[in-house]
Amino acid sequence: MARKISDSTVRRLSRYLRRLRTLDRQELKVVSSRELAESTGTTAAQVRKDLSHFGSFGKRGQGYGVTDLRVQLEEILGLTRRWRVAVLGVGRIGSALLGYGFFTQRGFDVVAAFDTDRSMIGRDVAGVRVQPLKELETTFEEQEISIAIIATPVEAAQKAADRAVRAGARAILNFAPIKLRMSPGVAVREMDVTLELEGLCYLVTEAGAATDVKE
Amino acid sequence: MARKISDSTVRRLSRYLRRLRTLDRQELKVVSSRELAESTGTTAAQVRKDLSHFGSFGKRGQGYGVTDLRVQLEEILGLTRRWRVAVLGVGRIGSALLGYGFFTQRGFDVVAAFDTDRSMIGRDVAGVRVQPLKELETTFEEQEISIAIIATPVEAAQKAADRAVRAGARAILNFAPIKLRMSPGVAVREMDVTLELEGLCYLVTEAGAATDVKE
DNA sequence: CCATGTGAATTGCTTCACAGCA
DNA sequence: TGCTGTGAAGCAATTCACATGG
């Protein structure tokens, strides 16, 4: 199948899927590239181009079957299996994630949590027991964990990620405000609220400056 | 000054700034485009090109003054002022955000929180009193809130965002898994953990499939 | 007739390579 | 000499426009 799909395409596929799941729940049968585009913030041509990298899923003159396309996208994204996830660092973010019910619904099982803080260890957070770091390796192996969510303080993030990878993790979702250095085979995505807020500030400031000058 | 800066450039500027703040705290005086690139996951040419859209901040043959460049970036991103933020929806994510100490440090003051849940209203979460939605308009005006963080359930997100904008918000950080429809003048950024996890699944699945075929 | 699927055109981003200057 | 700043080249992504087929 097609090679080297861009990051932005994958992001959009995920958005299409999110929308399709809603449409499917509402028992809508058919959707057009235009409708899908409007509800995900892109263009109809973009939707068709994105999908065309993987095959032809629509019927000319009609559109796409909602359930069918949903299933196709789930296959493309690798979501026909369940994924086992561990949370490293059970502070505010870690706890919020452990309690986030949507994960299970979407195929992600948070099966383990780790922390170094003695007062946290042994506690039950949203049904998951907080384990000491020294149990990381055995738990990752036993539970076949492939995704590690880094929610530690920034100083501990790189070490935690390295250790997760050595223990078998193949993907890292990083909440710590630092660029992790990982070997090429490991997938990494970063989530940094401050970064997003700063992006918004830029846009608001620019918009203000632009109107000052132009209008 | 330069027009139409791309989203990816703004994101990188924010990363450079994040790094520069660390270097500044460590009292490093000078940094080269290469060093900045390595610690933020890009290339030296990219760093120089990004900065060149706004001026020339370096010294040829030496590099960039750490403090100087930090201040320049703060100005470019609009971070020389403080920004007042409200959180809409005080569930798990909302609470975690309210307790996130970094905000204050980085120029963001979370000054208000809203919820519809009676049992939440009036409660103090990390020093902020949870208000009923009906007080939104007056609080936004009185407190001059320009950024709204949407942390409501997905069904309530669009309405909450609309209301925040009508009350004066100029930027939205959206944690709900839905594409918000906003008028063009409003800046929006989306944070969806599931979306990021799905992106990771694609990469892991692809990597697996690629090695199956090739190696 | 209508919406998909897709080469071709275009736009925009990144990388290159080197002139310019401390 | 060394690293910045920047036009020009190269590459990737998006948009266009239309042939295709239900």
pLDDT in tens, B145-182: 999 999 999 999 999 999 999 999 999 999 999 999 99
The pLDDT-based confidence of B101 (bands split at 50, 70, 90) is confident
Nearest one of B194, B195, B170, B200 to B182, comparing CA atoms: B170
pLDDT for residue A150 is more than 60:
yes
pLDDT at B2: 47
pLDDT of residue A209: 79
SS3 A144: coil
Q: How many Å apart are A103 CA and D15 C1'? A: 36
Taking all residues of chain A, what is their mean pLDDT, rounded to a whole number? Answer: 95
A56 CB inside 7 Å of strand C: yes
- The two tokens of residue A24 are 């499917």
- Which residues 68-127 on chain B approach chain A with CB closer than 8 angstroms? 76-79, 83, 85, 92-93, 95-97, 99-100, 102-103, 106, 108
- Nearest-Cα distance to chain A for B168, in Å, is 12
User: Distance between CA B64 and CA B42 in Å, rounded?
Assistant: 17
| Cβ proximity of B149 and B171 under 8 Å | no
Residue B207 has pLDDT above 90, yes or no: no
State pTM to two decimals: 0.96
**B168, B134, B138, B164: which is closest to B150 by C-alpha?**
B164
For B138, the 3-state DSSP assignment is helix
pLDDT band at B1 (very low <50, low <70, confident <90, very high): very low
Model confidence at A89, pLDDT cuts 50, 70, 90, reads very high
Give the integer Cα–Cα distance in Å for A103 and A44: 29
Domain limits of chain B? 7-76, 83-194
Chain centroid to Cα A24, Å, comes to: 21
C-alpha count within 13 angstroms, C-beta hemisphere, residue A61 = 0
Q: Does A2 touch chain B (CB under 8 A)?
A: no
Interface list for A 19-78 with B (CB within 8 A)? 19, 39-41, 76-78
Looking at domain B83-194, which of 3.40.718.10, 3.40.50.720, 2.40.50.140, 3.40.50.170 is its CATH number?
A: 3.40.50.720
pLDDT tens, position by position, A161-178: 999 999 999 999 999 999
- Provide, in whole angstroms, the distance separating residue B31's CA from nucleotide D3's C1': 11
Beta strand B63-65 with B58-59 is antiparallel
How far apart (Å, rounded) are the C-alpha atoms in residues A131 and A122? Answer: 6
Which residue in A78, A83, A203 is closest to B187 by CB distance?
A: A203
Amino acid A35 CA to nucleotide D12 C1' distance, rounded Å: 26
pLDDT category at B66 given cuts 50, 70, 90 is: very high
The answer on pLDDT for A105 being more than 80 is yes
Asked whether the predicted pLDDT for residue A215 surpasses 70, the reply is: no
Q: In whole angstroms, how far apart are CA B143 and each of A82, B36, B67, B86?
A: 45, 37, 31, 10
Residue A136: partners with Cβ closer than 8 Å, 6 or more residues away: A86, A88, A114, A163, A164, A167
Task: Pick one of 1.10.10.10, 1.10.443.10, 2.60.40.770, 3.40.50.1000 as the CATH number of B7-76.
Answer: 1.10.10.10
Kindly determine whether the C-beta of residue B10 is less than 7 Å away from any atom of nucleic acid strand C.
no
Bridge partners for A63 per DSSP? A59
User: What is the distance in angstroms measured between the alpha-carbon CA of B60 and the sugar C1' of C21?
Assistant: 6
How far apart are the C-alpha atoms of B140 and B167, rounded to whole Å?
6
The residue that minimises its CA distance to C1' of D22 is: A60
